[in-house]
Structure 1
């Protein structure tokens, strides 16, 4: 239980330390680049990360990681637009959207399909982050036992 409180304390301190204008700008730029790169057929979210990677060499490490993470997370949702609306998946992760999302768009329910995609993207991302935060400390202890 003590470790859990330390994890939450460190997480809170990190969030407070990173709430500044530059970090929020990195999140905004990353979200825009990720959405655009994933929404354009032929460009993928990984391509977006690769295109922005040279710009991160001169950045602070924290801001660079935040920028690249924002590109990836926004790209996971941005690829839903061509998959649902035009039946063109940009990434393999968007192929399942063709089965239900495109038929919904043909019935005039494209906005509803995009909304449910957004809800599932956010909830899955939050679940993964919470799981990573809870499991990282015990896994680090196990990893340090290997020599």
Structure 2
């Protein structure tokens, strides 16, 4: 008689985990998509500053918003990782349990049990797994999984 699959581990939410999570879960936009809004605001702001009778403060404000949008687009990952590192979950220890029925991720701040019957999709990435559950995406890194857990998730993808 074979034993049902069960795997349990813990890991810390550190900077390298957040960086990997961003790299693996956020789709990389094209250059045009990334800078479109900032370039539009810069152009409108510049045109208002040079050719309009509009209050100069408003025109410069629109121009400045465009500049801020371009800078925030350029440093999107660094900004996201910094926000995560400043949050209350930074450096928290997370417990991960995978069994035949569910994936259970818990910490002091969060407790999430996802039954495989409720999981919409499991997507393998280069360095881990994206789990879509109730319109949310959760990332599990291969750094915290052994080979049998990775094989188990791969079998769930194939089903």
Q: TM-score under structure 2 normalisation?
A: 0.28
**Structure exhibiting the larger radius of gyration computed from Cα positions:** 2
Structure ranking higher in helix proportion: 1
Larger RCO (alpha carbons 8 Å, 6+ apart):
2
Q: TM-score under structure 1 normalisation?
A: 0.29
Structure ranking higher in strand proportion: 2
